[in-house]
């Protein structure tokens, strides 16, 4: 399965699973990124960090380390 970090700009994907532990996983879930949520990749910074996404109608920036914890399909 690929992670959110592997998705190309302009694609929309659906969250399949979160792989983080404890407070990191809770923080991602608090941002609205939960199983079944659609995520649109808006931009990626020139060096790849952070990734700007649209989720549940609002824009959000995620670090590469956080994006790798989100499995998508």
Q: What CATH number is associated with residue 54? A: 2.30.30.90
Range of the domain at 34: 2-72
Q: What is the pLDDT of residues 15-56, one digit of tens each?
A: 999 998 889 899 999 989 999 999 999 999 888 789 999 999
CB proximity list for 2: less than 8 A, separation 6 or greater: 71, 72, 73
The number of folded domains in the chain is 1
pTM of the model: 0.84
Q: Is 12 a residue whose pLDDT tops 90? A: yes
Distance CA(70)–CA(56), nearest Å, equals 16
């Amino acid at each position: 399965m690929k992670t959110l970090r592997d998705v190309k700009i302009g694609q929309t994907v659906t969250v399949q699973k979160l792989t983080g532990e404890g407070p990191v996983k809770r923080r991602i879930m608090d941002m609205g990124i939960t199983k079944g949520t659609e995520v649109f990749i808006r931009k990626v910074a020139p060096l790849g960090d952070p990734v700007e996404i649209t989720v549940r109608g609002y824009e959000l920036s995620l670090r590469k380390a956080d994006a790798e914890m989100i499995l998508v399909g």
